[in-house]
Amino acid sequence: MTDETAAWFAGLDPEDEAGAAAAVTEGSADHTADWPALAVEAGFADDADDYYERLHAATTRATREAVRERERADDQQLVHAVRAMADCERTANELAERVAEWGGSRYGDDGAGVDYAREVAARGPEDDESDRALRSLAERTLDLAEEAAALRATIERTAPAVAPNLSALAGPVLAARLLSLAGSLESLAKQPSGTVQVLGAEDALFAHLQGNAPSPKHGVIYTHEYVSGTRPEERGSAARALAGKLAIASRIDHYSGDRRPDLERELDERIERIRTRSQGGDGQ
């Protein structure tokens, strides 16, 4: 009796496919039982063949939905990783500036950035208290820079699993930044391409909306070579074209998850046209 109530098909209308999938995903039982025979007995299936057909439909549907949900949940891990990477990079740079300022005052060096911190960290021991303190700070700075690099490697490895098309078009790190700015893959997939185009340029956008500034042509997608590597006069067109494809890619990643290599080809061709038309001078 208890076995029967625990069955995935218990209490289900045989036609209720969504309910069957939910029961496969959420149900549980302490023991197995001869479910096919029990299902026929309970009138859920006409015979074993009929039962297996329903089971196949229920398990494939449940598993397809569960896969999608789990991969979507992974987008939050990616968002954390990219935010942590940005924090580590920013803090490493700030500390590197502090090290450079301090080192300049002590040794008359004029180095800068993480490279200078590396130089200071590698210096031999000196007994002076301030030398030790400065060297220790330089070491922490390098640790943070290394942490940022490790996080970047993690993002490069995981982003293609979470958002395969977006990662292929934008590169894994920019893809993760877009997810982070939108909040999740789902909310990115719901943004119009004009919003994707200016994600990360919110300050400029609000200044524009208040009437104090021109409209921003690009946000974080500026880091993409297709925008930054295009002549300034055509950069707005390139940003619009790129954002359009990124918006489509994020929707495919969220709603279907299939790889669509055509997107990359279409984007390549579009950018190629934008870049050549300004050189040809025919306006178009």
Partner 1 sequence: MSLPDGVERRDFDGETGLATRGHPEYGERTDGEWRRWDPHRSKLGAMLELGLDTGLEGGETVLYLGAAAGTTASHVADFAGPTYAVEFAPRPTRDLLDVADHRGNLFPLLKDAREPATYAHVVEPVDVVVQDVATRGQGRVAALNERFLRPDGRLLAAIKARSEDVTADADAVFADVLAAVEDEYEVLATERLDPYHDAHLGVVARPRRE
Query: Smallest distance from the beta carbon of 190 to partner 1, in angstroms?
Result: 22
CB 68, min distance to partner 1, A:
8
Residue count, binding to partner 1 (CB under 8 A): 31
* Residue with smaller CB distance to partner 1, 2 or 279: 2
Nearer CB in complex with partner 1: 64/273: 64
Rounded to the nearest 10 degrees, how much is the dihedral formed by the CA atoms of 249, 255, 261, 265? -30
**Tokens in use for 197?**
């185009």
Q: Whats the size of the chain, residue-wise?
A: 284
Tally of CB atoms within 10 A around 142:
20
> With CB under 8 A as the contact rule, which of the stretches 59-67, 83-91, 169-177, 178-186 interacts with partner 1?
59-67
Q: Say if residue 196 is exposed, middle or buried (CB neighbours under 10 Å; 0-12, 13-18, 19+).
A: buried
CB of 64 to partner 1, least distance (A): 6
- Identify the residue among 70, 125, 212, 281 touching partner 1 (CB under 8 A): 70
Residue 171: which residues within 8 A CB-CB, separation 6 or more?
Answer: 224
Least distance (Å) between residue 79 CB and partner 1: 17
Whole-number Å distance between alpha carbons of 261 and 154: 23
Q: Least distance in Å: CB of 23 to partner 1?
A: 8
Helices (H), 113-219: 113-121, 129-162, 164-170, 172-182, 185-189, 193-198, 202-209
Are 142 and 148 spatial neighbours (Cβ–Cβ below 8 Å)?
no
Closest distance to partner 1 from the beta carbon of 26 (Å): 9
* Residue 53 interacting with partner 1 (CB under 8 A): yes
- Could you give the string, one character per residue 131-170, with x where binding to partner 1 holds by CB under 8 A and - elsewhere? ------------------------------x---------
Supply the minimum distance, in Å, between the C-beta of residue 228 and partner 1: 32
Of 90, 79, 249, nearest to 155 by C-alpha is 79
Q: Which of 46, 47, 52, 268: binder of partner 1 (CB under 8 A)?
A: 52
How many helices (H) does the chain have, and how many strands (E)? Answer: 14, 0
Picking from 245, 278, 240, the residue whose alpha carbon sits closest to that of residue 262 is 245
C-beta of 2 vs 210, nearer to partner 1:
2
- In the block, tokens 């004009």 appear at 194
CA angle 247, 249, 252 (to 5 degrees): 110
Considering only residues 215 through 244, tell me which ones interact with partner 1, judged by CB under 8 A: none
Residues 11-50 that bind partner 1 (CB under 8 A): 23-24, 27-36
Of 4 and 87, the one with the shorter C-beta distance to partner 1 is 4
Site residues (CB under 8 A) for partner 1? 6-8, 23-24, 27-36, 52-53, 55-56, 59-60, 62-64, 66-67, 70-71, 74, 161, 257
